A and B are shown apart, each in its own frame.
Chain A
Amino acid sequence: MKLKKQIVIIGLFVAAVFVGGYITSCSNMPANGTIVFTRVPVANIDVEKAIPHLFKGANLQAVNRMGKSGEGENLTPGFYSACSPQVSYDAKHILFLGQKTETDLWQVWELNIKDKSTRQITNCKMSCNSVCYLPGDRIAFSKKVTDKKTGITSNALFTINMDGTKLQQITFHPHNDFISTVLKDGRILINSRQVYPKKGKVKYLAMRPNGTKAELFYADNSAAIYGQCVNEANKLIYFTEQNPTTKKTDVAEVSYNRPLHSKINYTENIQGNFYWALPLSAEKMIVSYQSPDSKNVGLWNFLQSEKKISEPIYNDAKFDCFEPVCVKPFQRPKKLPNDIVMAQTSGLFLCTNINFTETGTTQATKIEILGLEKSLGTVDMEKDGSVFLSVVADTPVRIQTLDNENNVVSGPSEWIWVRPFERRGCIGCHENHELVPQNIVPLAINKSAVIIPVDSTNSKKGSEITKVSEMK
């Protein structure tokens, strides 16, 4: 009897310790549904030039959605600057960009939500920029790179292990690339803008995390796309973009299933500018908004169906608020397989018909491949318009089509690259991105791929491969 009593008392004591410990630990961590955002002293930034967004003197603030405006908790007290929070899929960590002191480079850090501890992930020689978790144990971020031969400077994307090892560059074109989000299908959505030979328009590209299959996802006549876009279960992607004429910045939505033709502008009839959008449900989102008579950007609730701003979540005249994220677990995107082979030095590129364009067929007979500095040669098309190239990996090229007199028929194209052992295809030049290929064997693949740069002493067509039907 005595023993039983003792066991019960010990059991109760152990249970009390566990429960107490649990409650204590929970009280210090942001609750599920807490909003974390970047809070920047108003004097520190010019909002119009907020991309890339490395906000000096900023910190990560946590607020309860239902809390009073202005109340929040600084999650990065040990940092001179911290911004760009990204919540891990299990909502246990937050990835962010930070600098401990004013003179430090910006590096990628990770915050443990439970105990508020931080750890540095990158140790780059250039400041890191936009960052996100990838499915698996890697993250992606952006940083400045300079082409050694041409001196062209741009922002390229990189991936790295969570322990800071195995850094790999994954974009290789003269664009400023910043990460927006990871789509549920596993691809990274990139905010991308050409910088060479001339400044281009900002676009969204979708690309596999190993840098393969980069292709246009969304583009409009916008001057800039701001804000982290978020894809929700209902397959909608939200972002803010600036009208090049009026300079007004609005919240827009596109459908994952038809991104090029499904844009809805939610705020065109609301005065003021919107810089970030965080959808919380089909009805509600949180926006970074600055009304015309306000000197700061605050965090506000926004009702989608009514297209109107409701109450503020955090609005302090001394601070601008950007990059809101919600601390809650969410479905991990697909972890896509990696089919590149780093030991290879080239990748393959097939165009099924260079004369197939969005506006109709053209009369080109060959293509010219343009490198950053010079032409890499011309390649004759096959009778069906197909060309099959072996291109040096991780090197940007553009393609333009030519007629017999070497006049440009179409192009040049966007910059493209192939990763080592990547096999990539397109169905035409300046194609309609909603078209799929016709089901025919492209004649070019019956031959070996033409090696780029083209050796002028060799044929400009691939060498013949004996076809099955001719063998016997």
Chain B
Amino acid sequence: MMKKRKLFFLLLIIVVIVIGFSIGPARKKARQHVNYMTAVDDHPLNCLSCHLYTQRSGFLAKMINASYLSPYNLAVAPNGEKLFVVAQEGNALLTIDTKTNRVVDKIAVGTQPHTVLISKDGTRAFVSNEWDDTVYIIDLGTSEITDTIKTGNGPAGMVLCNNETTLYVVNSFSNEISIFDLNTKKERKRLVAGNNPVGAALSPDGKQIYISSRRILPHKYRTPISIEITVIDTKTERVTERKILNDAYLSENVSFTPEGDLAIATLIRPKNLIPSIQVEQGFMMTYGIAVMETKKNGRIVQLLTDQPNSYCSDPFDIVITPDGKKAFVSSSGADIITVIDLTKVRKLLAESSSEQLKQYANNLGVSSKYVIKRISTGANPKGMKASPDGKYIYVAERLNDKISVINTETLDIERTIDLGGPKRITVARKGRRLFNNAGHTFQKQYACYTCHPDVGEDGLVYNMAGVGMGRNVTNTQTLRDIGDIAPYKWNGHNQSVYKQDGMRFSTFLTRTEPFAYDDLDALVAYIITGIKNPPNLRYNPTGKLTDAQERGKKIFYRTHTNDGKEIPPHNRCYTCHPPPDFTNKRLEDVGSLAETDDTIKFDTPQLNNLFNAGPYLHDGRAQTLEEIWTTYDHGDYHGVTSDMTKDQLNDMIEYLKSLRDAKFYENVNVEEEVKKYNAK
């Protein structure tokens, strides 16, 4: 009887809601609410898209979402019979039988695994776990993890050398390269790399390692950018050269020709310093490769893989066939593999003057001289590997949970290997595909991912030319963990992600047709639900602060200056930056107004994981956290800092760098913290 009554009331409530939203005043209210949130008046009144698909936890979230594998990088067994695939979201190493095209083994590894290497005898696998700061050594005979090596922060690319007695690990977050003795499993040395290094390649003679990097090197504000390719001598284990790739960033991977005379890295050539007024003519992004002659004083030539009116966005990996004739570049934002004829590239290098070669870097038409095919793939092609005999290229389709197999003779996809991920595409997954694909920008020139790699930010300051051409330059903001911190955009004009990615987004950013509403809903669902910050293992691995961080925290929560004067409440750090997100979600004037800004107040940014989010301030003028106060705040507008000693400022910055994801601070009571840190 009780059950029946409950059921009756439940049905009644549903009927009332349905009727209410269909004809009653509730419908009018709902319409007003949707109009406000989306900033348009024709977005469908669909409660589910906003209130169901954006659920981040609990039963509903589990029900509507799915756990995908997301293959990222891969390796082939020396005999070509097995393929080893790093499942980035599945936190697993998958083994595939290349004859049956079936997954035959799944080994659990660490969080967000990045790269896998296989020993020459095919008995061991090395997997770098980027969010665990470890490398696992796996016995492929038993599928057991035999050793765990502690690395620097964010292990990514790896190289085995010196008869596999030495392992080089690229620490992508801490900008270093760790050198391990595999006999002792001890770290022997640590070298300084470029900014956000990721990919690594060993020269065919085993003498050199090239490390690619993603983020730009320190440079004068609003001047041309560059990144570093770090060159290491494997004998001396020293950095012998820091090759500079001018006007480029986000170089994900590098590869050598079999002859070893050329190393080729993928890259993006952004146009962030130019007003983005003529997307028709590549005024936003171009994509290509850096061809580096490895000889002493060798030339570095940048060549585009794009063509007029069509772009190959977000190049990720490059593989060169064992015969050295072809290079394959995965364009993860365009879902294509670009095939480059290296003989033609060599001819171009031999025939062209240095002035011509310089111009090629900005010439969309020149790719017709060396690109011989563009092969369409499934969603988001990432890592690639050639089979030992060079007959096939295996491509990890990250957002398709499949591996495509390209025949290097016919240049067609010969077969596709299903990794066994969920078959249904959830709303958030659809949004993630949209986020990573350039199909929603004019001529597919850039994806959301391009400026927000790994859904963070690319560290560049853009001139979007919303008004005028030299005004309102903006520092790219992270999209990680932003579900609760509206408003959005530096000027705070967007009350929701729906508005942020809506009509004006298409007018001034994507410059093409706006997202269809179901696509927009999916994109928002992904952004709201899907994006965690990586753990802050570099500055706060355990949650326990260091002494310096603890002193810095005291300064963060202080209410009085060193000489005992009370700091006005509005000018205390914690007032505008309260946990858990370390933002009060309001617009504030911190004295950062530039003559070229059209607004005085700016959205208070969240501070979680800000240690690797430079440059800082709305226009990115502060390259470091220190510069915010030492160079750009002379009137105590951005908190009171003028009374601080240098050590105190350093301590405060150490504390800021220790900040982790918002969830860690969910239960922090600000008043108690203030009381605690201001007790006599």
Contact = CB atoms under 8 A, between A and B. Distances in A.
Interface stretch (B158-166, B195-203, B361-369): B361-369
A93 B428 CA distance: 38
Nearest to B512: A334
A-B pairs with the 3 shortest C-beta distances?
Answer: A436-B282, A434-B365, A445-B470
Nearest to B220: A469
Interface in B281-296: 281-283, 286
Contact of A337 (B221, B225, B514): B514
Given A334-B513, A467-B595, A468-B596, A436 B631 contact: no
Interface in A245-291: 256-262
A435 B470 contact: no
A471 interface: yes
B469 A423 contact: yes
Contact of A185 (B224, B278, B443): B443
Contact of B368 (A261, A449, A466, A467): A261
B310 A436 contact: no
Contacts of A334: 442, 512-513
29 contacts: A185-B443, A213-B280, A258-B365, A258-B368, A336-B513, A337-B503, A337-B511, A423-B275, A425-B281, A427-B281, A432-B365, A433-B308, A434-B364, A435-B364, A436-B271, A436-B282, A437-B274, A439-B225, A439-B270, A439-B273, A440-B224, A445-B275, A445-B463, A445-B468, A446-B470, A467-B595, A468-B594, A468-B596, A468-B621
A413 to B, nearest CB: 15
Nearest to B621: A468
B contact residues, range: 35 or more
B439 to A, nearest CB: 10
A385 interface: no
B512 A425 contact: no
Interface string B358-391: 0100111110100000000000000000000000
Interface string B220-236: 01111100000000000
Nearest to A434: B365
A226 to B, nearest CB: 24
B21 interface: no
Nearest to B593: A471
A467 B272 CA distance: 17
A436 B277 contact: no
B521 interface: no
A435 B511 contact: no
B512 A337 contact: yes
Interface in A337-354: 337-339, 348, 350, 352
B309 interface: yes
Interface of B: 221-225, 247, 269-275, 277-278, 280-283, 286, 307-310, 359, 362-366, 368, 442-443, 463, 465, 468-470, 503, 506-508, 511-514, 594-596, 619, 621, 631-632, 634
Nearest to A337: B507
Contacts of A257: 307-310
Given A337-B513, A468-B594, A259 B506 contact: no
Contacts of B634: 472
Given A257-B309, A425-B275, A426-B278, A437 B362 contact: yes
Contact of A439 (B269, B280, B368, B513): B269
Interface of A: 135, 185-186, 206, 213, 215, 235, 256-262, 334-339, 348, 350, 352, 388, 423-427, 432-442, 445-447, 449, 465-469, 471-472
Contacts of B277: 348, 350, 423-425
B247 A350 contact: no
B281 A185 contact: no
Given A425-B275, A427-B281, A471-B595, A337 B506 contact: yes
Given A438-B247, A439-B272, A465-B595, 8 more contacts: A258-B308, A350-B275, A434-B366, A436-B271, A440-B223, A441-B273, A449-B468, A472-B631
Nearest to B282: A436
B216 to A, nearest CB: 11
Contact of A256 (B272, B273, B310, B442): B310
B281 A437 contact: yes
Nearest to B222: A441
Of B271, B274, B442, B506, the most chain A CB neighbours within 10 A belong to B274
B116 to A, nearest CB: 35
Contacts of B283: 425, 436-437
Contacts of A435: 281, 359, 362-364
A69 B269 CA distance: 56
Contacts of B619: 468
B273 A424 contact: no
Contacts of B594: 468, 471
Contacts of B362: 435-438
B211 to A, nearest CB: 24
A348 B442 CA distance: 21
Nearest to B597: A468
Nearest to A334: B513
Nearest to A466: B595
Contacts of B443: 185
A388 to B, nearest CB: 7
Contacts of B621: 468-469
Contacts of B470: 445-447, 465
Contacts of B632: 472
A135 B465 CA distance: 26
A336 to B, nearest CB: 6
Nearest to B591: A472
A442 B506 CA distance: 25
B60 to A, nearest CB: 35
